[in-house]
Structure 1
Amino acid sequence: MSSTGSSRGNPSMGDIVRSVAVLGALVLALWGFGQLFTKTPDSNVKPIDYVSTVRSARPAAEFALLAPATLPKGWVATSAQFTPTTWHLGVVTDDEEYVGLEQRTGDAKQLVATYAKDSTAAGEVTIDGETWNLREGPDGEVTFVRTESGLTTLVTGEAPRAEVEAYVASLSAS
């Protein structure tokens, strides 16, 4: 056997480095090509017209149905459901954090158990002259709960407390 034979069975370190560099450049080129022709959707949120739902629901509601007159810029209503004794409005903030409004005749315990599970009482806060019970969830969620004349209103959200509190302040029955 000659000492000048092929090194195919035993590549040198230089051969390995060159092969890895060529493969890396090929992968990088394919990734760059894919980025040119791939469009990431801005958002997968499907907006709804909650204002028309509010207009048709208020006359049929057995309670003072609350809703914001307008949503903050970038916020989108994603769900609205009404029965004569319940109201739900779900919105997504401009940071894609969920905020939900629930109104239901009856006790607050059921709403809290359903929509603010594992939250703990964190005192009372006054928003626009109304007293709300504040609850804090394990993942930073905040919940505001108020019961008046047999109607419980609950607003819960993943958004920062100040944003959820401003949303609560924007709620109106007219």
Structure 2
Amino acid sequence: MSESSPTPQIKPVIAAGAAKRANASVIGMLLAMFSTVAIVLVIVWLNPEPKADTYRSNIDVAAVASNAADTAGFNPVAPDLPAGWSANYARWNPPGADGVAFWDVGYVTANDTFIALRQSITANPTWTATQAQNAPVTGNRSIDGQEWELRDKPKGDRSLVLLSGTTTIILTGAADFKDFDVLAAGATKMLGSGTADNSFHSTKDSK
């Protein structure tokens, strides 16, 4: 038997009309893509990335604190702070599942960093640890005669914790110590005659 000769390959021939339609589809797709990109660029151009100052609000912390005082059962602190500081929220949080109700204010410092202030008369160790992001106690920081417990860890925000009578105040954020000192001094000044609990013992120098 003789081997059969290979069947010659037949190249498909696209009709001129079909080729024209195919090219039109590709061109249409590219035009649509370019149009979408152009629209996105225009939107981005008209809406530039907001600067830090955009997030600054003119919250009247003292007014919100005054309104919350009757519900809170204590006077929520609303410290006087230097020029350049602002609050982007201030609110009273009723008791949750943990039974802790607290005053909560978010401060933007003059250096565009953030510190949250939380104050409660029903705080417990679990709540305090949670608000301090479960960071370990690393020492004390003395601010205007008050001893604040310092809690921090290598990666994460730092916290200062003060127990003054029945009141617990927690400051948490990524700001420098000098900004923490400003807010801490302002907060304790408003506590009036409350005596801070000085039972904390330093475990390291927190300069």
Do the two structures share a fold, i.e. TM-score over 0.5? yes
Offset of residue 140 of structure 1: 5.3
Q: Deviations over 1:99-156 (max 9, x none)?
A: 0111112344233332212411121222122221111133352211122333211111
Say which SS state the counterpart of residue 154 (structure 1) adopts.
Answer: strand
Superposition pairs for residues 1-174 of structure 1, below 5 Å?
A: 39-43=48-52, 44-47=54-57, 48-69=59-80, 71-82=81-92, 85-139=101-155, 141-171=157-187, 172-173=190-191
Percent identity over the alignment is 27
Q: Is the 8 A contact 1:108 1:147 kept in 2?
A: no
- Residues 111 and 154 in structure 1, CA contact (< 8 A), matched pair in contact too: no
Give me the whole-angstrom Cα distance separating, in 2, the residues matched to 1:164 and 1:65: 18
What is the SS of the residue equivalent to 2:161?
strand
Deviation track 1:34-70 (CA, whole Å, cap 9, x = no partner) reads 798664423341512222112323355323422212x
**Hey, what's the Cα distance between the residues in 2 that align with 1:129 and 1:167?**
14
Distance 1:136 1:60 in 2: 32
Higher gyration radius (CA)? 2
CA 1:38 to 1:89, structure 2 compared with 1: closer, same or farther past 3 Å? closer
**Structure 1 vs Structure 2 CA RMSD:** 2.9
In terms of fraction of residues, the more strand-rich structure is 1
Moved more, 112-121 or 151-160: 112-121
CA distance in 1, matches of 2:182, 2:124: 22
CA distance in 2, matches of 1:74, 1:166: 12
Listed as ranges, the gaps of 5+ residues in structure 2 are 1-37, 95-100, 193-207
SS of 1:68 mapped into structure 2: coil
Q: Residue type of the partner of 1:58?
A: A
Residues in 1 aligned to 2:155 and 2:175: alpha-carbon distance in whole angstroms: 11
CA contact (8 A) 1:108 1:152 kept: no
- Relative contact order, CA 8 A, sep 6+: which one is greater? 1
SS at match of 2:175: coil
Change (3 A) 1:153 1:40: same
Q: Gaps (5+ residues) in structure 1?
A: 1-29
CA contact (8 A) 1:118 1:138 kept: no
How far, CA to CA, are the matches of 1:133 and 1:79 in structure 2? 25
**TM-score, normalization: structure 1?**
0.66
Secondary structure in 1 aligned to 2:55? Answer: coil
Q: Using the alignment, how far apart are the partners of 1:108 and 1:145 within structure 2? A: 12
